[in-house]
Amino acid sequence: MAEALAAPVDCLYRRLGGGPVIHAWTERFYELVFADDLLPVLFRDRGEDHAGRLAMWLTELLGGPAEHSAHRGGFTVMKGSHHDLRISEEQRARWALLCLTACGEAGVNDELRRELVPYVEGGSTLAMRVSWPADEVWPR
């Protein structure tokens, strides 16, 4: 049964180095976020475990154990956590830049970081889109 729950050998989660690397990445990322001049306003409570929650999301997204679905509710909860934040394109782009910067600082090589770009860009774009009320057009 444990084999059925194990991440595929070739998945990004494993190739990145698994949980330890993802946790180092997300910890560094939120250090950069909260030191930034544009992004902290998007976070209601800086004391929350943002790095831990993002690590669970990335673990599942990149082929590892379904931690976010099991402990936080998965995609629906992730999507809902961005409602009414009204994320700007500038904030989205900065988030993506800092995310990939932190990834490199956590020791992820350039080739794997390039593989992560679609996940980071796509995820940040989705977060921006759902952060706007349905009756308002998100910034393009």
For CA atoms 121, 52, 47, 44, give the dihedral sign.
positive
Ranking 55-64, 78-87, 113-122 by mean pLDDT, the lowest is 78-87
For 29-81, what is each residue's pLDDT tens digit? Answer: 999 999 999 999 998 776 678 898 889 889 998 999 988 777 666 556 565 56
| 99-108 mean pLDDT | 97
As a whole number of angstroms, the distance between CA 32 and CA 22 comes to 15
Give the whole-angstrom CA distance, residue 29 versus residue 20: 14
At residue 3, the pLDDT reads 37
**Cβ(87)–Cβ(42) under 8 Å?**
yes
- CATH assignment of 2-130, given 3.40.1390.10, 1.10.490.10, 3.40.50.720, 1.20.1090.10? 1.10.490.10
Give pTM, 2 decimals.
Answer: 0.84
| Residue 19, pLDDT above cutoff 90 | yes
Residues 13 and 64: beta-carbon distance below 8 Å: yes
In angstroms, the CA 135 to CA 31 distance is 34
- The confidence score (pLDDT) of residue 4 equals 40
- What does the alpha-carbon distance between residue 42 and residue 125 come to, in Å, rounded to a whole number? 15
